[in-house]
Amino acid sequence: MSEKLEKARLYEIEEAKNIPQEEKPAFHVSAPVGWINDPNGFSVFKGKVHLFYQYHPYSRDWGPMHWGHSVTEDMIRWEQLPAALAPDQEYDREGCFSGSAIEADGKQALIYTGVTTVKLPDGKEEVRQNQCIAWGDGKDYVKAEKNPVVTGDMLPEKCSRVDFRDPKIWEDNGTYHMLVGCRSEEIPGQVVLFSSKDLKEWKFETILAENSTGEIGVMWECPDFFPLGDKHVLICSPQHMRAKGYEFHNGHNSLYFTGDYDSEKHTFE
């Protein structure tokens, strides 16, 4: 366990003692201390339902993202587990952002966006977002030796390396698929698809869907993709949408698209 993860775990134990239990929600999941936002990795592993979330233990303000962790057997009573991830590597030192989880080879794999900063040839610094993996037993997780497993350099040339985040993973007939929110210089707002046989070596497949009309935001965050009846559903959260009548006044919204998916050609209409 890294020093940063151990520090976070000790901090949440000690600081939680200062919060009266009656001030905590009896039903809803909450962080032991600090800041909580995006839910992540909602999945079943060894008969229990796991819920992770973006988490900054040291402040009630947004900060370098960790992953908090809760587990349940009945969706009513939740057990708080120790923090699962901390930003403790060069490739995620500015945060372990949103992602998903899956059971593979008897372990639980957490797929998340690692955020760091690189220095450009002109001396300027720029954010880089890449997709990383950690393996665990349902409580403790170890980041893979080869991380990130998917980088922005695997994208088509004009796709963003700055806004490239929130991987959703699933398995289908022995192949793992990863859908990631992205944007490009030409088409703001898109989701890109990767595939792998072993969760280690990945290849870019296609831009699965994009904001071809220019009306649906500039960056599609937190995508999800799944079959429902005889259709497939794509859910995403576009940023900076313009109000249209009575809709989209929030600017940052959640939308769904239904259509037909060809899993051989990787096309979604």
Residue from 131, 140, 35 nearest 85 by CA: 140
What is the reported pTM?
Answer: 0.95
CATH class of 1-25+32-149: mainly beta
CB atoms within 10 A of CB 15: 14
Which of these is catalytic: 38, 163, 224, 230? 38
Of 129, 132, 165, 128, nearest to 148 by C-alpha is 132
Task: Answer yes or no: same fold for 1-25+32-149 and 157-269.
Answer: yes
pLDDT, tens only, 57-94 = 999 999 999 999 999 999 999 999 999 999 999 999 99
**How far is it, in rounded angstroms, from Cα 261 to Cα 269?**
7
Q: Are strands 220-228 and 231-238 parallel, antiparallel or unpaired?
A: antiparallel
Domain spanning 157-269, CATH architecture: 5 Propeller (2.115)
- Preceding omega of 148 cis (within 30 degrees of 0): yes
The question of whether 92 is a catalytic residue gets the answer: no
pLDDT in tens, the chain (269 residues): 899 999 999 999 999 999 998 988 888 899 999 999 999 999 999 999 999 999 999 999 999 999 999 999 999 999 999 999 999 999 999 999 999 999 999 999 999 999 999 999 999 999 999 999 999 999 999 999 999 999 999 999 999 999 999 999 999 999 999 999 999 988 899 999 999 999 999 999 999 999 988 889 999 999 999 999 999 999 999 999 888 888 888 889 999 999 999 999 999 99
**Two tokens, residue 45:** 């592993």
The ranges assigned to domains in the chain are: 1-25+32-149, 157-269
